[in-house]
Amino acid sequence: MAVWTPSATLKILRARALLLRSIRQFFDVREVLEVDTPVLSQHATVDRHIESFKTEKGSWLQTSPEFSMKRLLCAGAGSIWQICKVFRLEEAGRHHNPEFTLLEWYRQNFDHHQLMDEVEALLRHCGVDAPLAFERISYRDAFLRHAGFDPLLASSAEMRVLAEGRSPPPPDDLGESRDAWLDHFFGSIVSPLLGHESPCFIYDFPASQAALARVRGEVAERFELVWRGIELANGFHELADANEQAQRFAADIEWRRANGKVTPPADQHLIAALRAGLPDCAGVAIGIDRLLMLMERAPDLASTLAFDWQRA
Q: For 6-34, write each residue's pLDDT tens digit.
A: 999 999 999 999 999 999 999 999 999 99
* Interior angle at CA 226, CA 222 and CA 228, nearest 5: 175
pLDDT at 1 (0 to 100): 58
Write the CB contacts of 57 (distance below 8 Å, at least 6 apart in sequence). none
How many angstroms separate the CA atoms of 68 and 62, rounded? 10
Q: What are the CB-based long-range contacts (under 8 Å, 24+) for 180-184?
A: 180/156, 181/156, 182/151, 182/206, 182/209, 184/159
Q: Minimal CA–CA distance to 61: which of 71, 51, 69, 70? A: 51
In sequence order, which ranges of 99-196 are alpha helices (DSSP H)? 112-125, 139-146, 156-163, 178-185
Q: Specify the pairing of strand 230-237 against strand 60-61.
A: unpaired
Tell me the per-residue pLDDT of 116-157, one tens digit each, with 9 for 90 and over.
Answer: 999 999 999 999 999 889 999 999 999 999 999 999 999 999
User: What is the value of pTM for the model shown?
Assistant: 0.95
Q: What is the mean pLDDT of residues 196-203?
A: 96
| Cβ atoms of residues 75 and 292 within 8 Å | no
DSSP state of 19: H
Q: Is the pLDDT higher at 173 or at 302?
A: 302
Q: Cβ distance 215 to 207 under 8 Å?
A: yes
Q: pLDDT-based confidence at 92, cuts 50/70/90?
A: confident
What amino acid is encoded at 225 in this protein? Answer: L
pLDDT tens digits along 212-226: 999 999 999 999 999
- 36, pLDDT greater than 90: yes
CB of 286 closer than 8 Å to CB of 103: yes
